A and B are shown apart, each in its own frame.
Chain A
């Protein structure tokens, strides 16, 4: 991910704390986030709100680099946050980096 040096990174957890092909919820005043871990141990973070009707994406099934919303099965691309065709909409992305097995998040 392409970040400016000034991005304030905060430590979140170890990669191991997120289940593979699963996710964890990050509680936050301004709306929860969902952090996902793929089979290849790539980590992504999205606002935990489906662009359809606000379903909690963190509770969905993760496959490839996609999560399927648990409420009405929209497929959301983890890389872009965008809903896959034929649906339209976008969940906000948050920058994530992994260093030495630890996950850092930028809430900026």
Chain B
């Protein structure tokens, strides 16, 4: 079948982010063509300010080099401005005559700087600040000329002024308002800002209006005259008085525009074939000018282009920062306050610190911080969550760190950390090491940081903090763009592509995969081999060969390796139920093998820790119990509560339900570990709300929840459906788990999978479509059918060499 054609106009941040998100979801749906007016591939416009300030180079801010477009088979037309959209014929035409036909069109033309309609606006030396070209012009001008004037005291104007000053020019900022950044700061904060900028040598002319730009002898601008008649010298004039959505092309094509291309919550314009994202868009009457909301739009738009059709953009709350090194300011929400609001304020003008929090109806609605912005991210989170602050109120001004250890996600800590403070507890990496690596090696993504410093490469709980350090180094509001989606360095293929190739070409062995997909290494590496192994055995159960050498030690040995090289043994205890005879055998094993510790796990069973590898097989034999798979990307436990058999509140036999599920799922391998729980009533003593599949019994049946997680990032499970019988519980949860097994990427837990495809998608496949549900369920049962218990198999002699050390006779 011929692929559909997707054409994108505008090769900027929002548009390319949409493509990245789309490729993640559906790498092969479209033939993609991109038109960009600028001669550069997609770059990080935000970082033009550090480039102007001499802190970074143009090369360093490229986000997607030309090779990225090639790798993704995207036809790229640089330096080609699209001048016409023919909606009848569904083609776009560029200035030079190049045409491209589309089935879907994405308009991401950004915005245009607003140019004051004053005499002299077209003189040489009068520019705006939008792209690499403008930035280069400023850098050149700073080499030859002395007097720069920046019109506009907003974020862009101040960043331009700061950069020009650092490049040695004498800079005056002209601003019509009463104070600087009046859209971001209140007057007190703005005065503090102005003072510190003045200390750096910038000059300000507030409440002043420009009347005219005057040419000098060479014809280049030479002076600026105010309305009140005063004149100041100006060899370079930068206009930073605002932006206007770039809707010219859309309007000419007859698309409905109203201060921006009007789009729906699905980022669709009035022509259903045409989508639009970025600064050119007007969504619910708002045109955004910061990347964070645009990236949210991109995600939603990609979801629709991928034909999932369930993403919804509902608008964003914004926060701002100024990227002038050494100046910390942060503001978000309604920071001016007014009718019906209360303000909490902290002001230390001598110390250069000012904080104002605006509260309305017990909720934080605005924040304006100057000098100490360490808690900005935390306030922003409270603001977006829109939850009552209640007793937080007393301490809120003193920030998150004052609240004990609630800040485990590290939202706001990075900025205030010392270089010697530890970021990654697992690998003992401190902030200074990370900052040094980012600067010296030009790291850009969290992945790069992981590779070079090992930070966040283990438990991952410090990923947020690493991201923040990265953000602080690279510029504010910057969001990580997922650049390398290849599985690992052995290949350029991503998880989805590998999986698809295995399915479509019936690849059955590792060698097949590496040959067919032209792996760069002869036999992969420790990252890709386990992933490929899982894709093989989950796609072709009973046919593909499960390769023990491609499994992490725990799964190869069927026990969990400990820091001293010994192993832990956790036998299966279905539903957490045991009996005297099992306990007696466990006790005997503990004695016989001098097990250093016997512990009840968080998963309702017993752990024997510190067993020597060579003892494993005999320990299993003496236990006479099945493997609990506590070491695998596999089924783990099904926790249960006592339920209706004993509990006075129990509505169903949750214990038996758990045992049945654990029996059904025994030996199941999965993309990541899978945990279930069954509770006998909504009191939920088995903690079903944070499990991959959580089941809660109610009088009339069973409620099923999916995608919960109690680990690194606690996530509450989402309601999937309600069923009546125990048999249905097995079928629905089995079908959901099979869908996850077939579609999730290796090392994604159900929560990550759900995040990617959305709950509605899962409902459509598992709840609404009965035939599909049954088919999924059957495929699950088929893959599990006849799988031996791994411990029993090893007692019988499988993989014998693994457990027997060699000896040398001296």
Residues on A lying within 8 angstroms of B by beta carbon are 10, 12-13, 17-22, 24-28, 32, 35, 39, 53-56, 59-64, 66, 68, 70-73, 75, 86-87, 105, 107
Contact = CB atoms under 8 A, between A and B. Distances in A.
A31 to B, nearest CB: 12
B303 interface: no
A53 B428 CA distance: 12
Contacts of A105: 808
A39 B561 contact: no
Contacts of A60: 526, 553
B806 A53 contact: no
Nearest to A69: B526
Interface string B421-442: 0000011000000000000000
15 contacts: A10-B810, A18-B801, A21-B523, A22-B548, A22-B549, A27-B806, A32-B805, A56-B561, A59-B565, A63-B529, A64-B522, A70-B552, A72-B426, A86-B451, A86-B454
A61 B805 contact: no
A63 B808 contact: no
Contact of A68 (B451, B521, B523, B526): B526
Contacts of B550: 21, 61
Interface of B: 426-427, 451-454, 457-458, 521-526, 529-530, 548-553, 557, 561, 563, 565, 613, 801-802, 805-810
B454 A72 contact: yes
Given A26-B807, A61-B552, A73 B526 contact: yes
Given A10-B808, A10-B810, A59-B553, A71 B522 contact: no
In the A-B complex, list the 10 residue pairs whose CB atoms are closest, starting with the nearest.
A68-B526, A59-B553, A61-B526, A21-B549, A56-B565, A25-B805, A70-B553, A27-B805, A26-B806, A63-B525
Contact of A61 (B453, B521, B529, B810): B529
Contacts of B426: 72
B225 to A, nearest CB: 58
Given A39-B522, A61-B529, 14 more contacts: A12-B808, A13-B806, A17-B806, A19-B802, A21-B523, A26-B808, A27-B806, A35-B806, A59-B553, A59-B557, A61-B530, A86-B451, A86-B452, A86-B453
B716 to A, nearest CB: 31
A27 B427 CA distance: 29
Contact of B457 (A24, A68, A71, A73): A73
Given A19-B549, A59-B553, A86-B451, A53 B563 contact: yes
A39 B522 CA distance: 9
A107 to B, nearest CB: 7
Given A24-B801, A64-B522, A72-B427, A12 B810 contact: no
A71 B549 contact: no
A22 B452 CA distance: 27
Contacts of B807: 26-27
A28 B809 CA distance: 10
A24 B805 contact: yes
A10 B522 contact: no
Nearest to B562: A71
B521 A64 contact: yes
A39 B519 CA distance: 15
Contacts of B806: 12-13, 17, 24-27, 35
Contacts of B525: 61, 63-64, 66, 68
Contacts of A75: 526
B526 A63 contact: yes
Nearest to B549: A21
B521 A63 contact: yes
Contact of B801 (A17, A62, A72, A87): A17
Contacts of B557: 59
A83 to B, nearest CB: 12
B126 to A, nearest CB: 48
Nearest to A85: B452
A10 B457 CA distance: 40
A35 B807 CA distance: 12
Nearest to A68: B526
Contacts of A26: 805-808
Contacts of A27: 805-807
Contact of B808 (A20, A22, A62, A107): A107
A57 to B, nearest CB: 10
Given A61-B526, A61-B549, A19 B521 contact: no
Nearest to B563: A71
Contacts of A87: 454
Contacts of B451: 86
Contacts of A22: 548-549
Contacts of B552: 61, 70
A39 B557 CA distance: 20
Nearest to A59: B553
Contacts of A13: 806
A26 B804 CA distance: 9
Contacts of B522: 39, 64
Contacts of B427: 72
A54 B565 CA distance: 9
A85 to B, nearest CB: 9
Contacts of A86: 451-454
Contact of B524 (A24, A28, A59, A63): A63
B190 to A, nearest CB: 44
Nearest to A67: B526
Contacts of B529: 61, 63
Given A24-B805, A53-B563, A39 B523 contact: yes
